[in-house]
Chains A and B, each alone.
Chain A
């Protein structure tokens, strides 16, 4: 808004990436739908769409990095990127809110109503069952599953992810003071911790699946557990990729103490993923 000394706002020329991206997402959607319906072309189209989407993402960001290096971006442009990232993260918060909302609704309303808290209600819904959280529901009462315990590996994983938030904050601080070596060390540490978290999650999934009898089809508990941790894990994975790209860019000397928004955006994203995990650990594992 404040353009006392006005630098023209950079409006990029025509670009192929958006239309390539549209075909990529169309391929992903069509392919996934076809695959789920058992059609032979489903998986190939899905993979093609995924490949196109990856090429688009890489190509588009490469363009942005080149334009920035060429000095085309004014501080005003940087603010647009900032607003864009902030509102994108807000949309992600609301996406998780849908699943947390489902969790709270099920725990506070659905299961007590169904499970005989008030016999006058539950008699009409599912006569004669008594349920309490965690449950796989009245249709799966003979199902033998053990809910995830909080204070084993999940607690360790929480510690790992929280530590990664701290190391990233240290890296960010070092970035602002132009200490590139320190940035590299702590950013690398963050990535290692993130990858470690993902590894432990995968191990935990195997443990839950084989030993605890806990699968996505283990009633509402299994559904919520895998939906929440699954989407969180996906976001950690995306975050690790973002941070890895930033590591390369730090190493290549793209950033200065004053200008490092790419790094900052990735850091914001990582802290958001961190906070989601805290909610998850509290409401899915502990309580």
Chain B
């Protein structure tokens, strides 16, 4: 018991980065390196899931079966959803939290640095397991990312691989969330009270709570799928007294908070960036915090809006409808506060600001179509059409992903020590924003006209808007290559050296450390006044 693997003189931390690939990236306990790993993993998944989207849009370019057979098409929509939700957007936000939460609260690292490493390195395990199913007999899962029984139980050999991949990704998310919540609650610099925390930290505190609350529920749901398939249980089979609708209730009890897991950190990012480039403090800080908290609370009692057409008692339908529409109130508070922050500000339009402004406009479109979908009688018409696809892509692409892009451009100088090319950044923004609207705005029309989602073929009258959508998709995909190039240039150190605080109006502890942020920061906590 007396031999100690680590030096007992804990004050003497080497300031240098660990040498060697293995120690630096695989065995690391540094929140910055783990944050980088998360972000790079997310970028890779973004392109893998994006490639699947390209296949989907190529097939839907015109009516008829052109490139892939319908079964493979279903695999594409299913795995695209799973990869983008669990592999791209969630890890990107966790990566941003890893990098920025300790820097923003003046902490030396995450609260549990070794577990932080494990949270990340479970993700490659989970997604290699999920993606390897393409090479199994019967192919990848094809029952939709929601994995509804009884359809999902007809998945071929991929089925248990899917279940365990989601389990492992879930374990990663829960541990990541526990780490973030412990960091925020325990490692804030002296003087940083809860209501002095930057909003990105606040939104992540709430997000981490949501993750810990609902990922285990998803784990329970898919465990029941597994036992129904292999151990003869009847959770989702009416013959045994169970109910397939039960799965949908449990899944969406997870699923609705999950959409806030995918958007709350984006709120935090936008609330950080808009004040920086408007050169004004955020309007209504406290109301922002309360809005995030009430959105999180409401997210637990609205799951039924995904199930209006499945059938439930009228009282249930009404409850879920009104509870859902109630979310518009705190969300409206946030949008109002963002606009008020911009009001009479000294605005400049660097790339992070452009993405953040596009977020405010386009996310709001997604929010408004969400209110339309919340109205039960209207949803009977829209359910499972392209209107729903348009709605959640406005929230996820121009919402979550635009916020992630904004955050990357905003903090890239802090991470790499060089400024990205503003010219390329703006090119990336304008191509992305035009292409994104080309892809998804026409899908509103298609959905209202009755085009169902998750179908590889369609009647000829839907052709024109599908062509527009597909062209937009290819352009959007190509535009992201500009982003990759811009990031690679920064990672190679090509660019103007960045000062500690490259943005005139930016606030926060992260700008008090040099750029690039040294390997160890805030070994001694700063005083916050």
The answer to the question of B6 belonging to the interface, with a C-beta cut-off of 8 Å to chain A, is yes
- Chain B nearest CB, measured from A151 CB (Å): 24
Known contacts being A87-B181, A217-B231, A223-B227, is A12 close to B6, with CB within 8 Å? yes
- Chain A nearest CB, measured from B497 CB (Å): 28
Beta-carbon contact of B239 and A6 below 8 Å: no
Beta-carbon contact of B525 and A3 below 8 Å: yes
Beta-carbon contact of B233 and A67 below 8 Å: no
**CB-contacts of B1-45 with A (<8 A):** 1-6, 8, 10-11, 13, 18, 23, 26-30
The answer to the question of A114 belonging to the interface, with a C-beta cut-off of 8 Å to chain B, is yes
Beta-carbon contact of A9 and B217 below 8 Å: no
Whole-angstrom CA separation of A153 from B157 in the bound complex: 42
Interface string of A191-223 (1 = CB under 8 A from B): 000000000000000000000000111011111
Whole-angstrom CA separation of A99 from B220 in the bound complex: 7
Known contacts being A98-B219, A137-B242, is A87 close to B182, with CB within 8 Å? yes
The answer to the question of A21 belonging to the interface, with a C-beta cut-off of 8 Å to chain B, is yes
Beta-carbon contact of A29 and B164 below 8 Å: yes
The answer to the question of B57 belonging to the interface, with a C-beta cut-off of 8 Å to chain A, is no
A111 partner residues in chain B, CB cutoff 8 A = 241
A106 partner residues in chain B, CB cutoff 8 A = 241-243, 246
Beta-carbon contact of B129 and A221 below 8 Å: no
Chain B: which residue is nearest A23 at the CB level?
B125
Category for how many chain A residues contact B: 35 or more
Whole-angstrom CA separation of A60 from B243 in the bound complex: 42
Beta-carbon contact of B234 and A217 below 8 Å: yes
- Chain A nearest CB, measured from B217 CB (Å): 5
Beta-carbon contact of A25 and B242 below 8 Å: no
- Chain A nearest CB, measured from B108 CB (Å): 5
Interface string of A58-82 (1 = CB under 8 A from B): 0010010111011110001001110
Whole-angstrom CA separation of A10 from B179 in the bound complex: 15
The answer to the question of A181 belonging to the interface, with a C-beta cut-off of 8 Å to chain B, is no
Chain A: which residue is nearest B105 at the CB level?
A1
A156 partner residues in chain B, CB cutoff 8 A = none
Whole-angstrom CA separation of A221 from B29 in the bound complex: 47
- Chain B nearest CB, measured from A99 CB (Å): 6
Beta-carbon contact of B3 and A66 below 8 Å: yes
Whole-angstrom CA separation of A144 from B422 in the bound complex: 74
Whole-angstrom CA separation of A138 from B234 in the bound complex: 11
- Chain B nearest CB, measured from A79 CB (Å): 5
Interface stretch among A88-96, A257-265, A271-279? A88-96
A67 partner residues in chain B, CB cutoff 8 A = 4-6
B224 partner residues in chain A, CB cutoff 8 A = 98-99, 102, 223, 227
B174 partner residues in chain A, CB cutoff 8 A = 88, 91
- Give the total of B residues in contact with A, Cβ under 8 Å: 94
B181 partner residues in chain A, CB cutoff 8 A = 83, 87
Beta-carbon contact of B164 and A32 below 8 Å: yes
Beta-carbon contact of B233 and A1 below 8 Å: no
Beta-carbon contact of A8 and B523 below 8 Å: yes
The answer to the question of B69 belonging to the interface, with a C-beta cut-off of 8 Å to chain A, is no
Beta-carbon contact of A83 and B185 below 8 Å: yes
Beta-carbon contact of A223 and B235 below 8 Å: yes
Q: Which of B107, B129, B240, B250 gathers most chain A CB within 10 Å?
A: B240
Beta-carbon contact of B178 and A69 below 8 Å: no
- Chain B nearest CB, measured from A57 CB (Å): 11
Known contacts being A67-B4, A76-B187, is A91 close to B178, with CB within 8 Å? yes
Whole-angstrom CA separation of A163 from B239 in the bound complex: 40
Beta-carbon contact of A94 and B213 below 8 Å: yes
Instruction: Name B125's contact: one of A25, A37, A72 (CB within 8 Å).
Output: A25
Known contacts being A37-B157, A90-B213, A138-B238, is A13 close to B125, with CB within 8 Å? no
Beta-carbon contact of A137 and B157 below 8 Å: no
Whole-angstrom CA separation of A23 from B124 in the bound complex: 10
Beta-carbon contact of B129 and A114 below 8 Å: no
Whole-angstrom CA separation of A22 from B10 in the bound complex: 28
Instruction: Name B217's contact: one of A76, A98, A223 (CB within 8 Å).
Output: A98
Whole-angstrom CA separation of A65 from B11 in the bound complex: 20
Chain B: which residue is nearest A26 at the CB level?
B125
Beta-carbon contact of A26 and B233 below 8 Å: no
Whole-angstrom CA separation of A139 from B161 in the bound complex: 29
The answer to the question of B393 belonging to the interface, with a C-beta cut-off of 8 Å to chain A, is no
The answer to the question of B504 belonging to the interface, with a C-beta cut-off of 8 Å to chain A, is no
The answer to the question of B494 belonging to the interface, with a C-beta cut-off of 8 Å to chain A, is no
A14 partner residues in chain B, CB cutoff 8 A = 18, 23, 27-29
The answer to the question of A155 belonging to the interface, with a C-beta cut-off of 8 Å to chain B, is no
Beta-carbon contact of B111 and A84 below 8 Å: yes
B219 partner residues in chain A, CB cutoff 8 A = 95, 98
The answer to the question of A40 belonging to the interface, with a C-beta cut-off of 8 Å to chain B, is no
Whole-angstrom CA separation of A102 from B244 in the bound complex: 11
Whole-angstrom CA separation of A8 from B109 in the bound complex: 11
B10 partner residues in chain A, CB cutoff 8 A = 8, 10, 72
Chain A: which residue is nearest B241 at the CB level?
A137
The answer to the question of A250 belonging to the interface, with a C-beta cut-off of 8 Å to chain B, is no
A95 partner residues in chain B, CB cutoff 8 A = 216-217, 219-220
For the A-B complex with A22-B122, A26-B129 known, give 18 more contacts whose Cβ atoms are closer than 8 Å. Answer: A1-B186, A2-B190, A8-B523, A11-B113, A12-B114, A14-B18, A19-B26, A22-B118, A22-B125, A36-B160, A66-B1, A76-B187, A92-B216, A98-B221, A98-B224, A102-B224, A114-B243, A139-B237
Can you list 27 A-B pairs with a CB-CB distance of less than 8 A?
A8-B108, A8-B524, A13-B6, A14-B27, A18-B114, A21-B118, A25-B168, A26-B128, A30-B164, A32-B160, A33-B161, A76-B187, A80-B187, A87-B177, A97-B216, A101-B253, A114-B241, A115-B241, A136-B241, A137-B238, A139-B240, A217-B231, A219-B242, A223-B227, A223-B240, A224-B235, A227-B223
Query: Which 7 interchain pairs have the tightest Cβ spacing?
Result: A98-B220, A139-B239, A217-B232, A137-B241, A29-B164, A223-B233, A14-B27
